[in-house]
Amino acid sequence: MSHIDNIPSTPGKFKMDKSPYIHHRLRWHSSIAKLTFWSFIFLGLILVFFFRSPSTVPSSTSPSSDLSRRSLRTNSWGGPTWEKRVKSSAKIRSRNGISVLVTGAAGFVGTHVSAALKRRGDGVLGLDNFNDYYDPSLKRARQALLERTGVFIVEGDINDVALLKKLFDVVQFTHVMHLAAQAGVRYAMENPSSYVHSNIAGLVSVLEVCKSVNPQPAIVWASSSSVYGLNTKVPFSEKDRTDQPASLYAATKKAGEEIAHTYNHIYGLSLTGLRFFTVYGPWGRPDMAYFFFTRDILKGKSIPIFEAANHGTVARDFTYVDDIVKGCLAALDTAEKSTGSGGKKKGAAQLRVFNLGNTSPVPVSDLVSILERLLKVKAKRLIMKLPRNGDVQFTHANISSAQRELGYKPTTDLQTGLKKFVRWYLSYYGLGKKSAQ
């Protein structure tokens, strides 16, 4: 990623008038020139960001392609047939059920949460733009899985305010589970604007619509354990500082928490942020280490295992997706109603943030050893220094608050969870045949 350098000052190359008046005028004109220059640059970036949208979406693009490939890609929507599908999917079928709009429903966690809500009789409507940050065919397979359970996923972008308003016109959602986001720590170095587009602008779009509808829904949304950044105090507690992000992804999630506070304070929206810790399991994301380690071990390729300075261990608080889902549903069930009406706050509203982790950090090298046993293949390990690309040395969740307030209790250890993942992986990809492609 290239950076715009500051224009260097070179005062030694010409002789300046020593007069204070002339000096003051030169400095003043220089400041005006710089201000004008940067104003044009900033305006240009805004125009590019907001008005650049492709007429077609490439079926295969390089990972470094720009925001255009994941900007507003809303397909045609509306009409009696479409509205009928929306209403049917969102219809509550249990006595005390809720009606939930799940953004990012074709994503990893979104699919599992949507299926769990539907199983217990809640009304569920999905929203996803099916971008190609990773293989869209996996998202389409998840979509097909949810279709079989009765969950309809509207194809559209969370920045499409007209679509969001239409969905709330058709269905009076009691809750929003906002999981749509640009994921990944390292990819932010290649395509930073996509993180601003999804994680900041997208969140604001959702909150803007939610604040204006009547009644306002309660909102549960996905923050991230990445907000702890360079924090060295372990385990990470919700009370710890989160002002030292180690990646742009983390910074956008931290910004999201501050934005949530603002909308809660001004508009009375009930908001609960969930800081997920390294979620894994069946139907997972191909950009996650456990996933591509499995793929590369089966292909006989070397896998990078990072170590910190002085041969320090890199460890993660791996959390199985079913445990995360339980936390998400508990957050929905304990969410209080928003207090605003017509965009105006009527009283104090609930504002919460919880860690959802496993509380048992495991060295990445141990993760590889478990995969080797499950796959019955020896991994080709390539030990490398931890790069300065946003990755942190360890994560470790303090979940006492979630235990107390949500009844959250993770039950799946890494050995058990990876066994379930490998079983799914081999079934989905066909014993490595598809994974070798």
Instruction: State the SS3 of the chain.
Output: CCCCCCCCCCHHHCCCCCCHHHHHHHHHHHHHHHHHHHHHHHHHHHHHHHHCCCCCCCCCCCCCCCHHHHCCCCCCCCCHHHHHHHHHHHCCCCCCCCEEEEECCCCHHHHHHHHHHHHCCCEEEEEECCCCCCCHHHHHHHHHHHHHHCCEEEECCCCCHHHHHHHHHHCCCCEEEECCCCCCCHHHHCCHHHHHHHHHHHHHHHHHHHHHCCCCCEEEEECCHHHHCCCCCCCECCCCCCCCCCCHHHHHHHHHHHHHHHHHHHHCCCEEEEEECCEECCCCCCCCHHHHHHHHHHHCCEEEEEEEHHHECCEECCEEHHHHHHHHHHHHHHCCCCCEECCEECCCCCEEEEEECCCCCEEHHHHHHHHHHHHCCCCEEEEEECCCCCCCCECCECCHHHHHHHCCCCCCCHHHHHHHHHHHHHHHHCCCCCCCC
Q: Is 249 a catalytic residue?
A: yes
Quote the tokens at residue 28. 């003043």
Contact 377, 298 (CB under 8 A): yes
What distance in Å separates the CA atoms of residue 185 and residue 254, rounded to the nearest whole number?
14
Widest pairwise Cα distance in the chain: 84
Which of 133, 195, 228, 249 does the annotation list as catalytic?
249
What distance in Å separates the CA atoms of residue 367 and residue 357, rounded to the nearest whole number?
16
Active site residues: 249
